[in-house]
Amino acid sequence: MPADVLFHYLAAHEYRQARSWYFRRSPRTAHRFAEVVDFALREIAQQPGRWPLFDDRHRWVKLKKFPYLLVYRLLDYGDVIVVAVAHSRRRSGYWQRRR
């Protein structure tokens, strides 16, 4: 059974900001960004332990064709929380203190 994937409120904000940025340039690209994020979330839900560790608690997935990472961690009861939708060229690890 797939895990439930939740979003930290700051990760949700980062996702909305990134999608808005793409939308201002091209609605079509914003739609594609959303599709790529949805695909990655479904993959995470199916096999949360599949992707590499960033540190002792967090894993990450690089989005296809976009310079973003989904950073997540497994919760004690089997679900997943996305803690960051992080641009891959920005400050690494800024999200590590998010609960």
Greater confidence (95 vs 76) lies with 76
Whether the pLDDT of residue 2 is over 90: the answer is no
How many structural domains are present in the chain?
1
User: Does any domain span residue 95?
Assistant: no
Check residue 29 and give its pLDDT. 98
Check residue 89 and give its pLDDT. 85
Q: List, in order, residues 6 or more apart from 21 with CB less than 8 Å away.
A: none
Per residue in 52-90, pLDDT tens?
A: 999 888 999 999 999 999 999 999 888 999 999 999 888
Q: State phi, psi for 91 to the nearest 5 degrees.
A: -50, 115
67 touches 55 (CB < 8 A)? no
User: Does any domain span residue 57?
Assistant: yes
87 touches 13 (CB < 8 A)? no
Q: What's 17's domain CATH number? A: 3.30.2310.20
Nearest Cα to Cα of residue 5 among 52, 86, 56, 59 = 59
